[in-house]
Chains A and B, each alone.
Chain A
């Protein structure tokens, strides 16, 4: 007997969002999660007795609509958290600090000219971000689809562009796919400011400031929502978001089963074609359902859980060609006390270590050829300053994204390669916080390969597949699968590999549910 209307593969935030929307409309939904805890890359794990951290360590553009629709506030998620400052670290202690958001945005540590440029730059980008905002929560039209609803989506974008006015419209078209470097060079003098502002367009991708692709679009994507691109740790931490999603799901009757690894998607074939009918767990148990919705990445979904045997040849080749190589490693340090960063009263901001755009570019160059850089660029936080429960009293956690660490390291991820990288990362942080070495109780490094293995995400890629022009909007992950449905009836996608993309936002889960509910 069919017990469920929908099975969702993966209890990451998108899986939970999609599940809850479906359950709100009366569907019986089962979410299957391979790990022992829900949350995916946002799950909070204990990495050392008493010390906890999550791979995703801030929230920047979680959809307010999703939070409202799922009543996440009732379930303990406070979306109104004040953003934390972004700090560009300088070895002489002359840091640049960006704080506030919207009209209250402030910049400190730069020349008067750069401060003026920054205000203009923010306002322009904010207008662009607002223009794009409605499209993140919409299903993109199918390529070649000329139905009215699809044409209207295009028409709406066209109209929005027109309403920008002639000059802004031209600017939008010009900067949307501009390399980050060009945009920064046009606007600012300070090398540190350019590096820290380009960071947000690049983080998580296999692109650097000179890469001509969609880094500005990525930036605008992250500027959607109330924080306008700033980052925050909600009261109660990232845990509170996952907890709220989990609780919202449970309250609508969604059943979340952890430790339930899906081995394959069950397919039934007939004269009329194929249909997904359920899943088989790794332990052999089969569960049937009206449809299967995968929040796993597209390659895992199609090539591993389904198998190319059931796919058209060109389609499966496009899926295989998706660029899914993660380039961000995660470092967690258990600290004996609050680290002291020279020139900073309290390290409660999001600190960027990248002296200039060349530092980012060179680190990327090394990674392109299978190495990690000897001059690391990083984003670091002390999340335990925002959420005490992450560490025992008086102790702290440092959470760092190390950019441009390849998934496929030349020579492989040996113990030695890992040890060298950890030491390099600690040395890099110690440039700004020299006393930190003595405070380290434990360190944990998660390479992209580790992320792949722990979180079942191909390539350890945060966004499941690269956020780049050829894999965006109606091309995400590829045409014929960009409207959440797939070439296999009964199989849908709802993960970061679908429009609008990755990051803690909930867009794909929301859009997939709307598409399924019709």
Chain B
């Protein structure tokens, strides 16, 4: 699922040989077989996107305005930017660090165990959503087995201000798909680490710490950061789990947009939801551009 192109892609000599479609002379003609794909993308992806952007700039009478965006940064909507970004940041940081730790332990196990954990991780990372939310309500609710067990061990998690419906609760639940996602994407990078490097470092007199600091960190840092950014984008746009858990009460951007669309909230501006959606895309674009830059930087270094 990692997004880097494989090294072997493109090493195939393309466009040579007796292939009738390998028309190198006319670049537009060579796109002809891709027409179905481009048409599909244009209609089902580009077309809806242009509508969100257009609507975001329209007032209730259909005239051009910036009012929707001004409203976006006020009151609960402005606050939701802060809450959403903060929550995604913490969730990505926890997921990345814990996920990397678990991944580094998993790559040292046998291949069957690795396959089994990869399969389980892909289930948790992809099909989470609503079922995950209910599982957590069951486990960590006031009557849940986990809560009781922790209480038995002397830790009443409800002793403080903790509830499952707060930011802390959501971060805990998100860990359930963030950590597996990290394991899934970060493992291939770890598998490329060769035992010989450790031996080389040892024979040059390096300690475990030197090996970690001088070899592992520089080598894995780009993969680590880029995956962490992916985790950020993932929790930033997560909607199903948060909706099922909090019934839309926490001021998260996706939840507010959902409320606006469902008509649960009456806003002065009809197109406030679209403006919020455009803002979310904006935040995502910033994060993903950093991702692309990190990947490019890592390729230059190799």
The reply to whether chain A is a binding partner of chain B is no
Residues of A within 8 A of B (CB): none
